[in-house]
Amino acid sequence: MKKKVSSTNRRVCSEGHIFYKSTDCPTCPVCEAAKKPIDGFLSLLSAPARRALENSGIKTAAQLAKRTEAEILQLHGMGKATIPILRSVLKSNKLSFRK
């Protein structure tokens, strides 16, 4: 049975997309899907992890290598499951997290 969403959770983004959220999160799922890269290491990540890196100015493996694992884990939206993906990306680029 599909859960009925209350109309109090109805949102409209700046692009006019109507969506429903059960939290205060203002992120439009339609706009977010359109922003997802189709290639590169950011395309491998979940939306919250990708946004965390992008909001920190990290868009390349070289920029990622300038940070420690601990710094990356402190970013809002970054989870422990993302670290193995990032390690793999760095390794394939002959890089590693800063010590």
Separation of alpha carbons 85 and 87, rounded Å: 5
pLDDT digits (tens, 9 = 90+) for 1-52: 555 545 468 899 999 999 998 888 888 889 888 888 888 999 999 989 999 9
Q: What is the domain partition of the chain in residue ranges?
A: 9-37, 39-99
Query: pTM of the prediction?
Result: 0.72
| Cα angle 22, 80, 24; round to 5 | 15
Say what the alpha-carbon torsion angle 15, 19, 22, 26 is, to the nearest 10 degrees: -10
- Domain 39-99 sits in which CATH superfamily? 5' to 3' exonuclease, C-terminal subdomain (1.10.150.20)
Q: What is the helix (H) or strand (E) element at residue 11, kind and residue range?
A: strand 10-12
Separation of alpha carbons 23 and 8, rounded Å: 11
Maximum separation of any 2 CA atoms in the chain, in Å: 50
